[in-house]
């Protein structure tokens, strides 16, 4: 698994400082090398775990940029670190297929390193599509995006792009040329905007025609940005990442509005939104409702602070137990829910039974009081697409679990 940052710099103190920041800010480990010779040995041993390399422009035992060329030749994405920059150095760096370059002279530069690394990690999980009927320019644009570690799909025209977006609803960015056969960039943008807002899908148009009429028309019909050919690699990367930053900020605000403040799980409003979407997809979807057993009694005996701690702890246990593809909610008070799409009954039942056991085995400490608690679960396993009916089924099964002794899962067949 590629989950480590390779730092090559003959200043060991600087390398350790970056490594500490990466660990503290991102939770990622780093591998350090202080010379070109050492970096080759490390690369041979650790290649499968290296996500990318931060490489100093000047390393004592390297001739010119041979150490950077070596990393690139071995398919290691590179960010160049430099303490000086003039036009000659900048041009030399940008001639190479690197991700970016950064300074190392100020505290703010260290902050930029972390920001850039987070950006690259985000890009590696982001699908984008390039729509252009010129194979040459389509490859050029795709290669620039791959340098930024995006997951890139290619479309030979607007119609092809529409089909790709339909098949990949998690696409976040579309780059479209203006002149294309079958369907041009204007028509493609109009069709995409019928379904996707500017806050959910970034569309950037690219054209060799730099007249104001073209750019303004594109902007009026809904593109987020307009890039004129020819453009520099650095300009392209900056414009792409600026738009992705804006999208991420919007998504962060949207996500906060969907969260319960205490547990940080999704809230009741989003439960109903998401359940309608998942159940309408027609795949086996589990709807589970669970509550804390004897919560009123626990609150009365140990106080409201202990009650809040129980709820927060339950949210943590749930996030650790279920996967990122499962949707976790706090509906109200002591009541929680889980939505899982495309899972078999045979897998769902033990998943929730193990969850019950895990909760019962992890007590909390509230002001010196060790408090054990349990949950009861109602598990709806039918294929009814109506959220209200599935909720009612889960509620009835929850009542069954409680009446039959609590700390258990009740489910229908």
Domain 4-120, second-level architecture: 3-Layer(aba) Sandwich (3.40)
What's the rounded mean pLDDT across residues 22-26?
A: 93
Q: Give every CB contact of residue 291 below 8 A, 6+ residues apart in sequence.
A: 334, 335, 336, 375, 376, 398, 402
Domain ranges of the chain: 4-120, 125-257, 268-411
Q: Give every CB contact of residue 16 below 8 A, 6+ residues apart in sequence.
A: 32
Q: Give every CB contact of residue 128 below 8 A, 6+ residues apart in sequence.
A: 145, 150, 151, 152, 153, 171, 172, 173, 174, 175
Question: CA angle 335-273-328, nearest 5°?
Answer: 40
What's the rounded mean pLDDT across residues 55-75?
A: 92
**Residue of higher predicted confidence among 109 and 318:** 318
Task: Check for a shared fold between 125-257 and 268-411.
Answer: no
Per the CB < 8 A criterion, the answer to whether 134 and 158 are in contact is: no
pLDDT value for 209: 60
What is the rounded average pLDDT for all residues in the chain?
Answer: 91
Judging by beta carbons within 10 Å of its beta carbon (0-12, 13-18, 19+), is residue 388 exposed, middle or buried? exposed
Adjacency order of strands within the sheet including 100-103: 29-33, 4-8, 50-56, 78-82, 100-103
For residue 88, pLDDT beyond 90: no
Beta bridge partners of 338: 288, 328
Give tens-digit pLDDT for 322-369: 998 899 999 999 999 999 998 999 999 999 999 999 999 999 999 899
Query: Does CATH number 3.90.180.10 belong to domain 125-257?
Result: no
Residue 140, both tokens: 């050029």
Domain 268-411, second-level architecture: 2-Layer Sandwich (3.30)
pLDDT value for 336: 97
pLDDT value for 302: 92
| Global confidence as pTM | 0.75
How far is residue 11's CA from residue 16's CA, in Å, rounded to a whole number?
Answer: 9
How far is residue 66's CA from residue 383's CA, in Å, rounded to a whole number?
Answer: 60
401 backbone dihedrals φ, ψ, rounded to 5°: -65, -40
Strands (E), 108-193: 127-131, 151-155, 171-177
pLDDT value for 154: 97
């Amino acid at each position: 698994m590629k989950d480590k940052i390779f730092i090559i710099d003959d200043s060991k103190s600087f390398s350790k400082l970056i490594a500490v920041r990466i660990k503290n800010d991102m939770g990622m480990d780093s591998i350090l090398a202080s010379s070109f010779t050492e970096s080759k040995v490390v690369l041979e041993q650790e290649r499968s775990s290296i996500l990318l390399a931060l490489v100093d422009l000047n390393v004592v035992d390297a001739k010119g940029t041979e150490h950077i060329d070596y990393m690139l030749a071995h398919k290691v994405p590179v960010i160049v670190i430099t303490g000086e920059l003039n036009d000659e150095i900048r041009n030399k760096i940008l001639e190479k297929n690197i991700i970016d370059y950064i300074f190392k002279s100020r505290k703010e530069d260290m902050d930029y390193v972390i920001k850039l690394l987070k950006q690259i990690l985000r890009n590696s999980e982001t699908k984008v599509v390039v729509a252009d009927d010129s194979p040459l320019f389509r490859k050029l644009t795709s290669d620039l995006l791959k340098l930024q570690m995006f997951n890139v799909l290619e479309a030979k025209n607007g119609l092809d792009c529409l089909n790709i977006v339909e098949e990949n609803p998690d696409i976040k960015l579309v780059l479209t040329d203006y002149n294309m056969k079958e369907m041009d960039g204007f028509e493609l943008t109009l069709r995409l905007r019928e379904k996707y807002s500017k806050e959910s899908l970034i569309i950037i148009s690219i054209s060799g025609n730099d007249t104001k009429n073209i750019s303004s028309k594109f902007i009026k019909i809904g593109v987020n940005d307009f890039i004129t050919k020819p453009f520099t690699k650095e300009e392209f990367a900056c414009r792409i990442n600026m738009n992705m930053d804006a999208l991420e900020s919007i998504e962060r605000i949207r996500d906060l509005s969907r969260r319960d403040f205490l547990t940080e799980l999704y809230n009741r409003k989003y439960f109903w939104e998401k359940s309608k979407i998942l159940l309408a997809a027609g795949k086996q979807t589990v709807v589970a409702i669970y509550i804390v057993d004897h919560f009123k009694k626990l609150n009365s005996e140990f106080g409201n602070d202990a009650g809040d701690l129980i709820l927060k702890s339950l949210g943590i246990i749930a996030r650790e137990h279920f996967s990122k593809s499962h949707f976790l909610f706090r509906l109200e008070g002591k009541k929680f829910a889980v939505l899982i799409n495309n899972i078999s009954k045979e897998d769902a039942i033990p998943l929730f039974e193990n969850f019950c056991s895990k909760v019962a085995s992890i007590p909390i400490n509230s002001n010196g009081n060790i408090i054990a608690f349990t949950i009861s679960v109602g598990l709806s396993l039918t294929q009814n697409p109506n959220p209200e009916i599935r909720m009612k089924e889960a509620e009835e099964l929850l009542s069954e679990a409680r009446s039959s002794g609590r700390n258990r899962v009740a489910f229908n067949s």
